[in-house]
Amino acid sequence: MSFFCFAQQSDAQVAIQNYSVFIGKASFAKSDFILLRKFRQQGKTKFLAVDVNTLNTTILDSANVKFSSSYWQQLKYTYPNTPFIKALIDVENQSFLIQDAGITHGYPAEKGITLTVDLCPSHKPLDRSIFNALISSFASIEKPVPIGLSIAGKFLLQHENDIQWINELQQKQLIKVTWINHTYSHYYDPKVPLTENFLLKPGTNIHNEVLKLEQLLLEKGMIPSIFFRFPGLVSDSAIVKQITTLGLLPIGSDAWLAKGNQPKNGSIVLIHGNGNEPVGVKDFLNLIKNKSQLVQSRQWLMFDLSSSVKGEF
């Protein structure tokens, strides 16, 4: 939709005020949206919204849409058979897992995988070989090539040149990025047990970790998706509930390559692109090399996270 592109280009590097949670609904361009956030930018009131059928997010100008406030129980009643509400309920029903809670497998229409690359805080540069390999292997049959980037705020701030390079690839329509919320701080202490680590650290402000990163992305002209990845894939049922109440879908993985998991058709593959997990990157590069003949015959593809998850519901 054209309004998505307009918002992404014209609002880049423009400060945002009063960024807050706002749960509501709106219709625009024959699509139904759930409103997730409300903010002021360039003197206008705007919303971060999700299309309940496609799972894609966009920015809506309040002056251009009819909207109303709501609450989750009402929205679940209003849009019961939509992929977004079905996915939200599914995630809430299996929130008891301490590791890998959320959606771990997609159901694309054809054979292939969904690649998600974690960009946790790191002083090492972005591993650009991942992107170069994707483009060289898939661009002739999939342009742009879809990729999910699970980004932490501290990585975004410390790697401005890398982020600019990624955005230039998008502008050239070589890749299509789904920006996955990986929290602003991504706290981790290797000496602390999982039950008190990552987002389970006592005193962690979940709302602040989520919203601060979203606002940072938007101010840089990058549209946050509805997908969220727990740092370390560690959570508990209370935190999962906080995330879904914010309108986000936790994304796990059934194929963390550095841990030896073997991807299957529909797998949500996880590798780290922050220079800290070269084994996983090497395994991924070998994977697409081994699949090269299937790729060229369009029998093994990369899939967009929204469309892959939507296929399950």
Structural domain spans, the chain: 2-74, 90-310
Tell me the pLDDT tens digit for each residue of 221-240: 999 999 999 999 999 999 99
pLDDT tier for residue 312 given thresholds of 50, 70 and 90: confident
Binning pLDDT at 50, 70 and 90, where does residue 2 land?
very low
The CATH homologous superfamily to which domain 90-310 belongs is: Glycoside hydrolase/deacetylase (3.20.20.370)
- Of 57, 100, 130, 118, which Cα lies nearest the Cα of 302? 130
What would the pLDDT profile of 58-99 be if each residue is shown by its tens digit? 999 999 999 999 999 999 999 999 999 999 999 988 776 667
Q: Residue 108 has what pLDDT?
A: 80
For the segment 7-48, what is each residue's pLDDT rounded down to a tens digit?
333 345 789 999 999 999 999 999 999 999 999 999 999 999
Rounded to two decimals, the pTM is 0.95
Question: pLDDT tens digits, residue range 114-161?
Answer: 999 999 999 999 999 999 999 999 999 999 999 999 999 999 999 999
Q: In the block, which residue shows the tokens 């054979």? A: 111
CA–CA separation, 130 vs 151, rounded Å? 15
Return the ∠ at Cα 62 (arms to 58 and 64), rounded to 5°: 85
- pLDDT at site 10: 39
Given this model, what pLDDT does residue 313 score? Answer: 83
- Evaluate whether 53 touches 84 at the Cβ level (below 8 Å): yes
- Coil vs helix vs strand at 164: helix
Average pLDDT, the chain: 93
5 vs 197, which has greater pLDDT? 197
Confidence class of residue 4 from pLDDT cuts 50, 70 and 90? Answer: very low
Q: What is the pLDDT of residue 311?
A: 86
Query: Hey, is 301 helix, strand or coil?
Result: strand
Which amino acid does the sequence have at 202?
Answer: P
Q: Using N-to-C axis directions, what is the helix angle for 160-171 and 129-138, rounded to 10°?
A: 10
pLDDT over 70 percentage in the chain: 95
Burial class (CB in 10 A: 0-12, 13-18, 19+), 235: buried
More confident position, 218 or 14: 218
* Direct distance between the N- and C-terminal alpha carbons of the chain, in angstroms, rounded to an integer: 23
**C-alpha span between 135 and 169 (Å, rounded):** 10
SS3 of 231-261: HHHECCHHHHHHHHHCCCEEECCCEEHHHCC
